[in-house]
Amino acid sequence: GEDVEQSLFLSVREGDSSVINCTYTDSSSTYLYWYKQEPGAGLQLLTYIFSNMDMKQDQRLTVLLNKKDKHLSLRIADTQTGDSAIYFCAEYSGAGSYQLTFGKGTKLSVIP
């Protein structure tokens, strides 16, 4: 079955880069997403990557995809205290499906 794994915690100093990792098992995944959730709030879509891409960059965010190893990462450059949140990786298997499979989320703590 489908499974998405993430490490649960990450702590970085303000100004450093953060790298949040995710592994998935469904080889038919077509889109992979990163969502951010601040305390008491809904999920904010940060970025997505299509499975035929290796990298996507959007301002401070860089997504890397290693399809062979089914490994996805989100790099946040110049991490700020406002980046403290839970980050969810999610996969979507393709047309005809409505299901997003979420990882358990990585709690990012930024130390001032």
Partner 1 sequence: DTEVTQTPKHLVMGMTNKKSLKCEQHMGHRAMYWYKQKAKKPPELMFVYSYEKLSINESVPSRFSPECPNSSLLNLHLHALQPEDSALYLCASSQDSGDRVPPYEQYFGPGTRLTVT
Restricted to residues 37-56, the positions that interact with partner 1 (CB under 8 A) are: 40-45, 48, 50
CA dist., res. 90 & res. 105, Å (int): 9
Stretch that binds partner 1, among 18-26, 61-69, 71-79, 93-101 (CB under 8 A): 93-101
Amino acid, single-letter form, for residue 45? L
Closest approach, Cβ 47 to partner 1, in A, equals 9
**Contact between 108 and partner 1 (CB under 8 A)?**
no
Q: Rule CB under 8 A: say whether 96 interacts with partner 1.
A: yes
SS (H, E, C) 30-54: CEEEEEEECCCCCEEEEEEEECCCC
